[in-house]
Amino acid sequence: MLRTGSQIVWDVLGQEGVGCVFGYPGGAILPIYDALLGSSIHHVLVRHEQGAAHMADGYARASGEVGVAMATSGPGATNLVTGIATAMLDSSSVVFITGQVSSRVIGTDAFQETDITGVTLPITKHNFLVTRTEDVGPTLRKAFHIARTGRPGPVLVDITKDAQQGTHDYEPDEAPVELPERSPRDTLTRDALDEAAGLLSSAKRPLILAGRGVMLGGATELLQDFVERTRIPVAMTLLGIGGFPATHALNLGMMGMHGEAWVNRAIQTADVLLAIGMRFDDRVTGDPTKFAPAAKKIHLEIDRSEINKVIRVDVPLVGDLRETLSQLAPRVGTTDLSPWHRFIEDLKGDTAVRDIQTLPDSGHLYAAHVISDLWNLTEGRALVVTDVGQHQMWEAQYYKHDYPRKLITSGGLGTMGFALPAALGAKFAKPEEEVWVIVGDGGFQMTAAELSTCVQENMKLNVAVINNGYLGMVRQWQEFFYDKRYAATPMSNPDFVKLADAHGLPGFRVEKRSEIAEAVSRARASRETAVIDFRVEKEDTVYPMVAPGKTIEDMIRRPVPVLE
């Protein structure tokens, strides 16, 4: 069947089960957009290519499927870069399709020419430049295979305009994609499994560190079964939240820079750590030379390049997490860990009296109040997408996620502007879900133009702007480490209620805790995207905090209130 390269693009997307694509057209990708009119795939016209990248990422994270974003050459392609890097750092399966100038003018600085494969080489799992029509179909199929297999990640396919316009006698290839790859089972030996099981069975103070790999590997139920049988407590990374129920008695909560004090101290006291699907990010370990000094370390990971990258481990187990955990679990014996559980309870010490939730009402609205009330009002069932900053940490601390894929956030790259477009993508993936965007006033303004996309697509989101008039987390660092010299962090914001109104959307303002419930109720009742401007305390601080270069138990904590 004679098909153009552009038609083949949509044929393959349909073959791969793609339901919607997020993108922005331009000259070098016009043939593909022209062929869109012959496809049943829904295209979402974004307001900026960065938005398309985050939407595809949010779609992938919420659904577990491959997200797709497309853009034209030059600035269109480079506008995707932040979103590609975000997907790369958080192991998100996204295929990016970009148009390129015709092959005959590549290298001549032609109009809107950029070597996007060169630009994105370090931030993609793989990328391709396609210059022949006959290569379009096979290359796209390889891209989807690479994006979804092994450790997921972004793949970019750059297609020249002549390859899009050319014709080829094309028949869909239904055979599985075969690519040479090293089996992760190579190091999953019986001896290694037995050694790991022996360490865990004899441990007095074992602890599990669970990351996003638990969800990516489909191992959430296996992990829960393993924990409930062995009674080993679990600490979560930011991206791992939801991989083990937050309200479970053996879930200690988030670890690391803004993790609870008792969690970090338990890690530093443990004698065996079982790290599952996490990569020992520097915000988890603090000073890596002093991380969990007394613990033997076991690392379950699908990507062998993560082994010993930051923390040297005693037993690496490289392989599919479900398979690895399935083989490890029966080998681990159970012991009485009640002394260890009591020790951890004792570590909590005065944490409760430091909690902002227990402080007397000062009349100010605190972000922690907003997040905690939102958790109660939605009964913990909402799909929450956060931006990056203080509100992101408060969300992780105060919204208790019991279910997987219910928190979507930019962890590795820390991308401001991520939340609103990623939430749109998540809503496309999960239209039945109640989706909340929790975003700071700074990050919201970076991609607020995507409110227009919400209107155009008639999509229902709930946007909670945690508005403190500052770039809050940067201000906090200036407070702690730069003698409160607030350089370039105070923000003059637009009226977010009027911004919503300008889009024909409902907007509400909240300045007291007593007003939260009504505003949330009105937003939820609206059939349209609703924006709530929460005017929170300006100089509130995220506690605890581990200062850069310090150990994870060397924390700055909220002062204990002095009672009169």
> Is 476:465 a contact under the CB 8 Å cutoff?
no
Label residue 362 by pLDDT band (50, 70, 90).
confident
Residue with tokens 């239904």: 174
Rounded CA separation 55/22 (Å): 7
Q: What share of the chain is helix, strand, coil (3-state, %, to 5)?
A: 40, 20, 40
Residue with tokens 């530093």: 268
Edge-to-edge strand order for the sheet containing 315-318?
251-254, 234-236, 206-210, 272-276, 296-301, 315-318
Checking if the pLDDT of 353 tops 90, the result is: no
In the DSSP assignment, the letter for residue 560 is P
Active site residues: 49, 111-112, 161, 473
Query: Which helix (H) or strand (E) is 394 found in, with range?
Result: helix 390-398
Rounded CA separation 303/317 (Å): 10
- Give the CA radius of gyration of the chain: 24
Span 93-99, average pLDDT: 98
Q: pLDDT tens, 47-63?
A: 999 999 999 999 999 99
Rounded CA separation 169/156 (Å): 24
Label residue 187 by pLDDT band (50, 70, 90).
low
Hey, which residues does 546 pair with through a beta bridge?
555
Span 124-143, average pLDDT: 98
Rounded CA separation 505/502 (Å): 7
Q: pLDDT tens, 485-500?
A: 999 999 999 999 999 9
Tell me the one-letter amino acid at 408: I
Helices 472-481 and 390-398 pack at an angle, to 10 degrees, of: 100
Query: Which helix (H) or strand (E) is 197 found in, with range?
Result: helix 190-202
Sign of CA dihedral 319, 322, 325, 328: negative
Q: pLDDT tens, 150-180?
A: 999 999 999 999 999 999 999 998 898 988 7
Checking if the pLDDT of 564 tops 70, the result is: no
The three state secondary structure string of 55-96 is HHHHHHHHHCCCEEEEECCCHHHHCCHHHHHHHHHCCCCEEE
- Quote the pLDDT of residue 126: 97
Nearest to 447 by CA among 467, 469, 472, 421: 421
- Quote the pLDDT of residue 455: 98
> Is 262:344 a contact under the CB 8 Å cutoff?
yes
Q: pLDDT tens, 237-291?
A: 999 999 999 999 999 999 999 998 999 999 999 999 999 999 999 999 999 999 9
Checking if the pLDDT of 184 tops 90, the result is: no
In the DSSP assignment, the letter for residue 271 is S
Span 60-74, average pLDDT: 98
Hey, which residues does 159 pair with through a beta bridge?
99, 130
Of residues 563 and 486, the one with the higher pLDDT is 486
Q: pTM score, two decimals? A: 0.96
Checking if the pLDDT of 361 tops 80, the result is: no
> Is 110:127 a contact under the CB 8 Å cutoff?
no
